[in-house]
Amino acid sequence: MSRLAKLLSVCREGGALVTRTEVLRQGGYQVITAVNVQDALAAIKREPFDVVVVGQRYDLGEKNVIATEARRAGAKVLCMHSESQHPQVHAANAFIHNLDGPEHLLAAVASLVDKAASA
């Protein structure tokens, strides 16, 4: 039996974090959550993740810090963005719009998990 891919979901908004976590768990992933940059960085240092999903409510600098540390630790990074944000997180592997449905989130994560497994 193969192990569940481990994801870190980073989101400031409690409701969005709960919803995203539920979608990812129903998609078959093990999900750890963080609500701020410090918690995300501590989690990345504490344990390995296949994919880190960064919510849209972080500024560009915060997203870059999380993405850079996640990549340094060997994880793939999926950044969510809104209409007003241009995806300029250079360390990210992929981007999705925050209004894309759960199927887009699961497809993007699955693609990154596949890339992580083949790396």
pTM for the model:
0.91
Q: Which fold has domain 6-118?
A: Rossmann fold (3.40.50)
User: 3-state DSSP call for residue 77?
Assistant: strand
Beta carbons of 103 and 96 less than 8 angstroms apart: no
Give residue-wise pLDDT tens across range 66-98.
999 999 999 999 998 876 555 678 888 888 887
Beta carbons of 99 and 87 less than 8 angstroms apart: no
Give residue-wise pLDDT tens across range 11-58.
988 888 899 999 999 999 999 999 999 999 999 999 999 999 998 888
Q: Measured between alpha carbons, how far is 76 from 103 in angstroms, rounded to an integer?
A: 19
Half-sphere exposure of residue 48: CA atoms within 13 angstroms, side-chain side: 6
